[in-house]
Amino acid sequence: MRAADNRAVDVGTRTCLVIGESGADWSAGIATARRFGPNLALITQWVGEAPHHFSQRVIARLAKRRSFASIIMVCNQRNDACATEARQEIVRATAGAMSERGEREITLICSPTRGGGIPPWAPLLAEHLPRHDQPLGLTVELGAM
């Protein structure tokens, strides 16, 4: 059991969703997911799948289950408008899929820039977090290059 928001949460029954973009290091997302409990679901982008199509598959999955303990998005190094828009759509859709218990945070794992910093697009995704009902948080973690 783990205490969160003054309520006991059984981490053994909680499920974490890992969203893995094609070409990203999904193992980092799976390792992070294990901190939230033993159960996880994984949605991966197919090689060559357009970002918009992938985001629609993820959003459909988010609509089917509305009780994820946490959501971890492992991003590749794409920084074009299509990838950015797809990520924004996914982030906007996450609120309805999060459990009402616990931390209600999305973890974004991405590769560092050449200078070792956080890619400039990553923190901007926080602007697309739904702010109604219960707020969500966004954590950015740097994975391996």
All structural domains of the chain, each given as residue ranges with its CATH number in brackets, are 2-142 (3.40.50)
Q: What is the dihedral of CA 84, 139, 33, 90, to 10 degrees?
A: -30
pLDDT tens per residue, range 25-40: 888 788 888 877 678 8
pLDDT of residue 140: 85
pLDDT over threshold 80, residue 117: yes
**Highest-confidence segment of 37-51, 94-108, 120-134:** 37-51
Stronger pLDDT, 130 or 97, i.e. the higher one: 97
16-30, 48-62, 125-139, range with the lowest pLDDT: 125-139
Q: How confident is the model at residue 14 (pLDDT cuts 50, 70, 90)?
A: low
